[in-house]
Structure 1
Amino acid sequence: MHEFNALLIAFRDFFSAGGDVLWLILAVTVLLWVLIIERFLFFARRYPQDLARTLEHWNARSDKSSWYAHRVREALISELEIRLNRYVPVIKTLVAVLPLLGLLGTITGMIQVFDVLAVMGTGNPRAMANGVSAATIPTMAGMVTALSGLYFGVYFERRAKGETRLLADRMAISGGYSHA
C-alpha cells in the first residue's frame, strides 16, 4: 500500500509540474489507446466473423461473371474495407495532435517563466524552474505518446490494405462480363 501511495504522489507531482496541458495530453492519450485496443479486438474477434460472412455471401451467388456480379463484389469488398479502416484516420489524427499539444504546453510554460522574470527578475531560479518544467514535460509527453501511437496507426492502415487485397483475391470472378 505504501508503494501505491508513493506512486500516486509521484503521479500528482508530475502532473502539477507539467501544467494543465498535461491533463489534456493524458485525455487524448487515453482516447488514442482506447481506439488502438478497439482495433486489436476488432481484428481478433469481429473481423474473422465479418470476413466469413462476406465470403459466404459471395460464394452463395450463382452469378459471378455479369456486370452486376462485379458491382456486388466491389460493394462487398468496399463494405469490409470500411470496417477495416474504422478509427484508423482518428488514430492518425490523434498522433498528429499530441505533439501540437506538447507545443502548447511549451508555450504556456514559457509564459510562466516570463511572468516570473517580469515580477521577480532573474533572482529566483526556483520560480523559473517551475515554468521550465511546465514547458518541457508536456513537450516530452506529447512526443512520447505520439511515437507510441504512430506505429499502430501505420500498422492498422497496412493491415487493412493487406486484408482488403486478400479478400479481393479470395472472391474469385468468373471470366469477363456477360450481359446477363
Structure 2
Amino acid sequence: MFSTLYEPVYLFMERGGEVLYAIMGLVFILWLLVLERVGYILFGHRSAVAAAVAEWEARSERRSWSAHQIRQDLLCHLSMQLQANISTIRMLVGLAPLFGLLGTVWGMIEVFDVMALMGSGSPKAMASGISKATIPTMAGMVGAITGVFARSLLERFIRREQMRIEDKLTFDH
C-alpha cells in the first residue's frame, strides 16, 4: 500500500533528475514561509494591532509633532511585522524557474553525452535526458506560479490591512 502510494512521486523524481530535488526543497521552503505568514495573520496580527491601538488611544494628546512620530512608529512597526519574509518569498518565486532552467541545461548535457556515445540514431537512449530536461522546467514553473499566486494574495491583504490600521490610529482628540 505504502509503496504503491508513493511510487508515482518516486518515478517523477527519478525521471526529473537531481535538480528536481533542489526545486522540491526550494518550493517546500517557499510554502513554509507562506504558511508562516498566514499563521501570523490569523493568530498573531490581531493582538499586535490591538496593542498598538491601545497604546495610541492611551495618549492624552495626538496633535503634536511628537505624537505624529509615535503614530508613524506604531504604523511602521506593524507594517514590518506584516511584511516579514515577503521579500524572501518573492526571491524564492524568482529562483524556482531558474532552478528549472538549470535542470533543462543539465538534462540537455545528458542528451548530448548520449548522442556523443551512441550517435543520434537512438531516440530511446536520448529519452531519459530529454525527460530530465523538461520535467525540472515544468516543476520550476509550477512552483513559481503557485508562489506568485500566494504572494499576490498576501501582498494584497497586507496593503488593505495597512490602510485599515491607519484608519484605526486617528488623530481625533
Q: Shorter-normalised TM-score: what interval?
A: over 0.9
Post-superposition Cα deviations, 1:60-107, rounded to whole Å, max 9, x if no partner, equal 111211100000000000000000001111111111110010000000
- Map of 1:114-125 to 2, 5 A cutoff? 114-125=112-123
Kindly provide the amino acid, as one letter, of the partner of residue 75 in structure 2.
I
Aligned to 1:93: 91
Q: Partners of 2:170 and 2:6 in 1: how far apart?
A: 58
Percent identical across equivalent pairs?
40
Aligned to 1:16: 14
Kindly provide the amino acid, as one letter, of the partner of residue 25 in structure 1.
I
- Map of 1:24-173 to 2, 5 A cutoff? 24-173=22-171
Q: Partners of 1:125 and 1:172 in 2: how far apart?
A: 70
Kindly provide the amino acid, as one letter, of the partner of residue 38 in structure 1.
E
Kindly provide the amino acid, as one letter, of the partner of residue 46 in structure 2.
P
Q: Partners of 2:172 and 2:44 in 1: how far apart?
A: 29
Which stretches in structure 2 are left out of the alignment for 5+ residues? none
How far 1:125 moved relative to its partner? 1.6
Which stretches in structure 1 are left out of the alignment for 5+ residues? 176-180
Instruction: Flag as ranges the 4+ runs of structure 1 deviating above 2 A.
Output: none
Post-superposition Cα deviations, 1:34-55, rounded to whole Å, max 9, x if no partner, equal 0111111111000011010110
Q: Partners of 1:152 and 1:51 in 2: how far apart?
A: 23
Kindly provide the amino acid, as one letter, of the partner of residue 109 in structure 1.
G
TM-score in terms of structure 2 length: 0.97
How far 1:12 moved relative to its partner? 1.6
RMSD over aligned Cα atoms: 1.1
Q: Secondary structure at the match of 1:123?
A: coil
Q: Partners of 1:9 and 1:152 in 2: how far apart?
A: 29
Q: Partners of 2:122 and 2:4 in 1: how far apart?
A: 29
Kindly provide the amino acid, as one letter, of the partner of residue 82 in structure 1.
M
Deviates most, 117-126 or 39-48:
117-126
Kindly provide the amino acid, as one letter, of the partner of residue 48 in structure 2.
D
Number of aligned residues: 173
Q: Partners of 2:165 and 2:8 in 1: how far apart?
A: 49
How far 1:155 moved relative to its partner? 1.3
